Amino acid sequence: MLIQRKPWMQEASCIEQSLDIFFPNRYTENTVSKPFSVCEQCSVRCECLYEAMTTESVGIWGKTTDYQRSVIMSRFFNDNPKNVNIDTIFQIVENNNYSIPISLKYDQ
């Protein structure tokens, strides 16, 4: 997957990490713990999540898996990427409003 660079990405905590950890073959507690900890401390986590929500990205973005983002899309944006807005993304992250399993087929 080709990632189009955006200016905010220069501030991302993951810039110093191997991007492979953000694109595991499957999601388990073990495979998401490292990237989630990187995302947790990131100053542009909301921008990252917004990017993923509006581009249908795969992998871990903004401390979410693609499955978690699909649930967020359904719960908050009526399954329509055109409804995604950065203010709601900030509220979702600030209120930790996405306590969702990491995948539909959750492996521990």
Over the stretch 80-94, which tens digit does the pLDDT of each residue have? 999 999 999 999 998
- CA triplet 12, 15, 104: central angle to 5 degrees? 75
Over the stretch 29-58, which tens digit does the pLDDT of each residue have? 999 999 999 999 999 999 999 999 998 789
Tell me the whole-structure pTM to 2 decimals.
Answer: 0.87
Q: Would you tell me the crossing angle of helices 86-94 and 45-55 to the nearest 10 degrees?
A: 130
Residue whose tokens read 């409003």:
97
Residue whose tokens read 């909301």:
46
Q: Pick from 105, 91, 93, 107: which is nearest to 36 by CA?
A: 93
The yes-or-no verdict on residue 107 having pLDDT over 60 is no
Domain coordinates in residue numbering, the chain? 26-94
